[in-house]
Amino acid sequence: MTDYQTWERRTPRQRIGRYILMLIVLVAAAVSWQLLQINYSYLGTAPTEFMDLINRMYPPNVGYTGEIISPMIETIHIAILGTALAVLMSIPVALIGAENTTPNRFTFVLGKFIISASRSVNVIIWALVFVIIFGSGALAGTLAIAVRSIGFCSKLIAEAIEEIDPGQVEAIQATGANSIEAAIYGIVPQVKPALIGVSTYRWDINVRASTIIGFVGAGGIGVELNTSINFFAWQQVLTILLAILIIVVFSEVVSAYLRRKVR
């Protein structure tokens, strides 16, 4: 090939970068594959196992529906209360975690620390911790969900606060309003869409999370699901899964509707 008239999509450097990236991926894949030491005979039988499982699940146990109504309601309670608590606690955390509203350097760092501490621990681990503290039940689950959500909500709300137009706050201050009034009129309306968007979005996530914290005893439908699976009551399992599906889809529709409604 001659130097001219060749068609190159990328510069040589970019190409080398790409090759290196691909190589890393291949090596990582190979090493991982080796490390897992999966018994591949299981993989071969997996499809039949799954079909078998599905056969045993079908048809769902309709008579069982009555028994899961109350844990399902508890699940929703956990999701809503957990989200509400989280949003409530997020507001002060967001205020100190936003550059333009934090009182000083120390509070800013504290805000950032709370945010990242809450975010880096999975909800199920939080649930374990709260089960130790408060014993099993919905309280532990609610707190786990609340604590895990604080970081997420505060982070997004803080970003919204950092983006507000300071002119609107100044205009209110210029009328002789006090700083709380300036916040009510100048800041709240500007961050309200973000606040509602974040809470409905997180609620949506939390509905899913609240279905599993029962695995470690933190209340909700997960407790029921865990028991049914352990007793190989597969038809009950399918009933529960369908109920979860309905709730999750429902919550997704509601939260999408709410987000659309607030402009």
Partner 1 sequence: MLSVTDLQKTYPSGDEALKGVSLDVTGSETVAMIGPSGAGKSTFIRCVNRLTEPTGGSVELDGLEITGLSGKELRNARRDMGMIFQEYNLIERLTVMENVLSGRLGYVSTWDAFRRKFAGDDIERAYEVLDRVGLGGHENNRADELSGGQRQRVGIARAILQRPKILLVDEPTSSLDPESSRAVMDLLTEIAAEDDIPVLINIHEVDLAEEYAGRIVGLRDGQKVFEGGPDDLDETARGQIYRGEEIPEGAGPTGKVAEAGTPGESSQEEGQIRRG
Partner 2 sequence: MATEQPEQRTWRRPTAFYNHYVKWAVYVVITVFLLWSAWNMRISPARIMDGWNAAVGLVEGMVPPEYTTQFKNELLIEGLVESLAMSVIATIVGVIISIPVAFMAAENIAPKPVYWTGRGIITVSRSFHELIIAIIAVKAVGIGALAGVIALSYKTVGFFAKLLAEEIEDIDSGQMEATEATGANRVQTMLFGVIPQVMPRIIGLTIYRWDINIRHSTIVGIVGAGGIGATLLNSFDQYDYDFFLTIIIAIIAIVMVGELISTYIRGRIQ
* Binding residues for partner 1 (CB under 8 A): 165, 167-168, 170-178, 180-181, 184-186, 189-190, 192-193
Q: CB-wise, 109 or 166, nearer to partner 2?
A: 109
Interface residues for partner 2 in 193-232 (CB under 8 A)? 208-209, 211-212, 215-216, 225-226, 229, 232
Q: Rounded to an integer, what distance in angstroms lies between the CA atom of residue 99 and that of residue 210?
A: 33
Residue 189, both tokens: 């309306």
| 46 SS3 class | helix
In this structure, the number of other CB atoms found within 10 A of the CB of residue 196 comes to: 16
User: What are the backbone angles phi and psi of residue 6, rounded to the nearest 5°?
Assistant: -100, 150
Q: CB-wise, 105 or 261, nearer to partner 2?
A: 261
Interface residues for partner 2 in 136-175 (CB under 8 A)? 137-139, 142
User: What are the backbone angles phi and psi of residue 101, rounded to the nearest 5°?
Assistant: -120, -10
Partner in contact with 181, chosen from partner 1, partner 2, none, beta carbon below 5 to 8 Å by kind: partner 1
In this structure, the number of other CB atoms found within 10 A of the CB of residue 240 comes to: 26
CB 140 within 8 A of CB 134: yes
User: What are the backbone angles phi and psi of residue 38, rounded to the nearest 5°?
Assistant: -70, 140
Smallest gap from Cβ 64 to partner 2, in A, equals 17
Q: Which residues of the chain form contacts with partner 2 (CB under 8 A)? A: 21, 25, 28-29, 31-33, 35-39, 42-43, 45-46, 49-50, 53, 74, 77-78, 80-81, 84, 120-122, 124-125, 128-129, 132-135, 137-139, 142, 208-209, 211-212, 215-216, 225-226, 229, 232, 237, 241, 244-245, 248-249, 261-262
